Structure 1
Amino acid sequence: MLDCNPISTLLDPNQKLTKSQCPTETADIEEMSQKPYMQAVGSLLFAAQLTRPDIAYAVNMLSRFGTNPGKSHWAAVKRVLRYVKGTIDKRLTYQKEHSEVEGYCDADHAGNLDTAQTTTGYVFLLQGGAVSWASKLQKRITLSTTESEFVAMVASSKEATWLKGLQREIFPSTPKLTILYCDNKGAENKANNNSYSDATKHVLIKLKYLHQRIKNKELKLVHVSSDEMIADALTKGLPKIKLEYFSKKFRLN
């Protein structure tokens, strides 16, 4: 791929990758076994976890097909490599002035076409740049957008607790409150008011956990428009303009 043509988007917005595209014929399986699929995904995963939040969703999604990748999956991996080649000079940058931890969380409800699982995405900024991010499938299948947002909020709040603890070790005077930006007003209102009348037990536990954090002034949910929800880049493939805009918000320059 050293001589490949660079490309400006990670995934083809008109293509959905599923397990139905995995080979079933012996000849096709043998052909694909000769491709360095997992080696390529593993190398990309290393970058996605440490320095490149912009490719995290694409790489984690492609890793799901590692046991039996198809031609479409291999083409998608090469597309990510073409994107990386075109953005090879991008790096995370930070400002010198002291700042507080702030996070963004989002969920793509039932976005996995094979299992109907939801993807959780979150990113935390400190000193003006991204310091922690994740793109991963939720273990439980959620029955509504609100429920999937709760799960994403809980995962994000746990990471916020750890990051805030680390920051307070370095700077003891740091306030304990963390701002978490969300774009689902329904989930925010229910978490702030501790109200969810038709919830099952596991949802109620998450609701009470969030409400307790809010009540103790450890967490504050702040609404942000979907156009400014930078964690969106960690839950789905995005068009060029939006991906570039969110990458700048990560301070990936």
Structure 2
Amino acid sequence: AVSLLSRFGSCPTLRHWNGVKHLFRYLQGTKDLDAGYLSDPHQARSQTGYVFTHSGAAICWRSTKQSLVATSSNHAKIIAMYEASRELVWLRNMTGHVLRESGLAVGQEKEEPMIIYEDNAACIAQLKEGYIKGDRTKHILPKFFFTHDLQKAKEVQVVQVRSSDNSADLFTKSLPTSTFRKLVHQIGMRRLKDLQ
């Protein structure tokens, strides 16, 4: 909602102002606190969103408009998976460095694959098989199948999750209140009054 409203900041209308007031009322009520295909139909861009958690708390997240036009929801998911996989490699290297430097990595066995949850079965299947030039995928650049290489190297495991349990949806679309609250809790955010 913030991303959408910010596009009209230089020339807002009464409708935009009402949207801002609605957003503030929403935020006031929630202060305690995936890829969306064609989330911006005017620009024909999809939204990438991801969140990484560790020990039940969000440690890294991102929500951004994709830089190129996706031709399908599957294409948008593959682009989002590519972006998240790149971040995951950096995050894994950074946390490994911190653990080694602090002496906490001593005696640890080989790292288990990091799990990436995805709700699109077609995307998961396509990334498992790798880049296959076919009528439906020939326009997707091979670099976007980076996640396939990570899976082959056993660094990443892509696991299907129900859409209603996909915490990345917090970063790509508006959600019903009940789903929003469940997903916020899932990434480790709590209301202050619940912690006291």
Q: TM-score, normalised by structure 2?
A: 0.84
Determine the structure 1 residue equivalent to 2:193: none
SS in 2 for 1:65: coil
Aligned partner of 2:148 among 193, 198, 211: 211
Deviations 1:226-250 (A, max 9, x none): 1111111211111111111111112
Question: Using the alignment, how far apart are the partners of 1:143 and 1:89 within structure 2?
Answer: 38
Question: Using the alignment, how far apart are the partners of 2:52 and 2:125 within structure 1?
Answer: 22
Q: TM-score, normalised by structure 1?
A: 0.66
Amino acid at match of 1:205: K
Determine the structure 2 residue equivalent to 1:249: 186
Task: Kindly report which structure 2 residues correspond to 1:66-81, keeping only aligned pairs within 5 A, or say none.
Answer: 66-81=9-24
Amino acid at match of 1:133: W
Deviations 1:109-133 (A, max 9, x none): 1121212211111111112111111
Determine the structure 1 residue equivalent to 2:65: 137
Amino acid at match of 1:194: G
Does the 8 Å CA contact 1:150/1:203 hold for their aligned counterparts? no
Q: Percent identity?
A: 31
Q: State yes or no: 1:147 paired with 2:75.
A: yes
The alpha carbon displacement at 1:165 in A equals 1.1
The ranges of structure 1 where at least 4 consecutive aligned residues each deviate by more than 3 angstroms after the TM superposition are none
SS in 1 for 2:53: strand
Q: State yes or no: 1:178 paired with 2:109.
A: no
Amino acid at match of 2:118: C
Determine the structure 2 residue equivalent to 1:191: 127
Question: Using the alignment, how far apart are the partners of 1:243 and 1:227 within structure 2?
Answer: 10
The alpha carbon displacement at 1:144 in A equals 1.3
Does the 8 Å CA contact 2:75/2:140 hold for their aligned counterparts? no
Amino acid at match of 2:91: L
Determine the structure 2 residue equivalent to 1:5: none
Aligned partner of 1:108 among 27, 33, 36: 36
The alpha carbon displacement at 1:134 in A equals 1.4
The alpha carbon displacement at 1:179 in A equals 0.8
The alpha carbon displacement at 1:154 in A equals 0.5
Amino acid at match of 1:63: S
**Which sections of structure 1, spanning at least 5 residues, go unmatched?**
1-57, 91-105
Q: State yes or no: 1:169 paired with 2:106.
A: no
The alpha carbon displacement at 1:223 in A equals 0.6
Does the 8 Å CA contact 1:147/1:203 hold for their aligned counterparts? no
SS in 1 for 2:32: coil
The alpha carbon displacement at 1:188 in A equals 0.8
